[in-house]
């Protein structure tokens, strides 16, 4: 009896030893189902995470905005002579136009635009349609229409086109005051003519100016890829609302380098309304050429800061001339608004209505002087 008990104990001991050896090398069948269930659980978690990413995509915003974004194809006819000899002034002096063998060729360019009203008004960049004799618009579903130019504003690089007798899907205009640096944005357009394309980025900066792109600058900067052909296209927020018109890129190669600029929707709306109503944009003007206050100029004028706009010259018989402004004056305040630089002066004056009186505070020598003058209408480019 005692011997049998000893044999049983040895058998159990060997059995446990074998069990642990098999478990150590991964051959334990008792835990196989449990391990498999754990792996499946992880995969289910990964899949649900992917689904959450899809739900948080920008597909809804794109679906909302993309029907309102169009491609613009322009044609420009150029007369040229196949032989440069016929263009020689000496030759033409004697023979006139009797040997005029000049021919016509047509060049075209691509850009983008945005439908802003359901009756066919389209906003784009001025440089997209500049000098165009024919303008063709292609909608997102491939339909082509001829468009007419309603008006343009070269100083903000904006233009308004019109497609007649159509009901089109117009985009919803966003609110620039709700846009912040770091917000996600989408650029929609037709880069390089490949077709409607969406790129994503963030707002890299607001109120960018002094870039030399246009006269009146207040750009949204974004790292959403903007390439040639995107000009005039839409910059939209995550709701698909229009927050800007893509206008320019900073590039050394001609391609996107992650620095793009869009005209903010508040400026677009203001310019567009004037063009639709009047065909052009009216701005205030006082007739001065200004210069930025550098550190050297600040010291020479004995100023405490660089704020202000130095008058470099005054147009004769202009509102500034009639109001008593002189070269060397420094404008520091207009209608109780501080003037930080020349761009600020230009913007404030341009927003004033012709015939409106404005109060100006200047520094002349060591004195502060207050003047009042009546704003005139700013001459339009090309007029």
Task: Render the burial of 93-131: b for 16+ CB within 10 Å, e for the rest.
Answer: eeeeeeeeeeeeeeeebbbbbbbbeeebbbbbbbbbbee
**Residue 63 burial (C-beta neighbours within 10 Å; 0-12, 13-18, 19+):** exposed
Residues belonging to the active site: 127, 157, 231
Count of C-beta atoms within a 10 Å radius of residue 356: 13
229: left (phi over 0), alpha (psi -120 to 50) or beta: left
Look at residues 157, 127, 163, 161 and name the one whose alpha carbon lies nearest to residue 145: 163
Rounded to 10 degrees, the C-alpha dihedral 31/33/39/44 comes to: -150
Name, in order, each residue with C-beta under 8 angstroms of 194's C-beta and a sequence gap of 6 or more.
229
Reduce the DSSP state of residue 126 to 3 states and report it: helix
Q: At a CB cut-off of 8 Å and minimum separation 6, what does 247 contact?
A: 125, 157, 213, 214, 219, 231, 232, 261, 262, 263
Closest CA to 179 of 269, 243, 259: 243
Report angle CA 5, 11, 16 to the nearest 5 degrees: 130
């Amino acid at each position: 009896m005692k011997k049998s008990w000893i044999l049983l104990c040895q058998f159990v001991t060997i059995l446990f030893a074998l069990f642990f050896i098999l478990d150590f090398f991964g051959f334990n069948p008792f835990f196989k189902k449990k391990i498999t269930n754990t792996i499946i659980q992880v995969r289910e978690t990964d899949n649900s995470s992917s689904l959450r990413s899809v739900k948080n995509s920008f597909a809804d915003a794109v679906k909302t905005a993309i029907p309102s974004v169009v491609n613009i194809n322009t044609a420009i006819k150029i007369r040229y002579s196949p032989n440069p000899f016929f263009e020689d002034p000496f030759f033409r002096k004697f023979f006139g136009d009797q040997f005029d063998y000049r021919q016509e060729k047509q060049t075209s360019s691509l850009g983008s635009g945005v439908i802003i009203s359901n009756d066919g008004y389209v906003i784009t960049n001025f440089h997209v349609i500049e000098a165009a004799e024919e303008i063709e618009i292609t909608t997102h579903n491939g339909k082509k229409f001829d468009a007419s130019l309603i008006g343009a504003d070269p100083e903000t690089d904006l233009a308004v086109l019109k497609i007649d007798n159509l009901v089109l899907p117009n985009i919803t205009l966003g609110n620039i005051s709700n846009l912040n640096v770091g917000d996600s944005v989408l650029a929609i357009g037709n880069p390089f003519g490949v077709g409607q394309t969406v790129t994503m980025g963030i707002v890299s900066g607001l109120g960018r100016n002094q870039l030399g792109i246009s006269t009146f600058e207040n750009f949204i900067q974004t790292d959403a890829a903007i390439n040639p052909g995107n000009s005039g296209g839409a910059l939209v927020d995550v709701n698909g609302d229009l927050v800007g018109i893509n206008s320019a890129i900073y590039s050394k190669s001609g391609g996107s380098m992650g620095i793009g600029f869009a005209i903010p929707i508040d400026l677009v709306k203001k310019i567009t309304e004037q063009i639709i109503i009047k065909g052009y944009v009216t701005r205030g003007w006082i007739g001065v050429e200004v210069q930025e206050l550098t550190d050297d100029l600040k010291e020479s004028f004995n100023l405490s800061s660089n704020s202000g706009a130095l008058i470099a010259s005054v147009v004769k018989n202009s509102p500034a001339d009639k109001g008593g402004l002189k070269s060397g004056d420094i404008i520091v305040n207009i209608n109780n608004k501080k003037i930080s630089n020349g761009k600020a002066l230009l913007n404030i004056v341009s927003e004033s209505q012709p015939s409106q009186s404005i109060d100006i505070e200047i520094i002349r020598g060591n004195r502060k002087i207050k003047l009042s003058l009546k704003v005139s209408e700013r001459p339009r480019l090309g007029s």
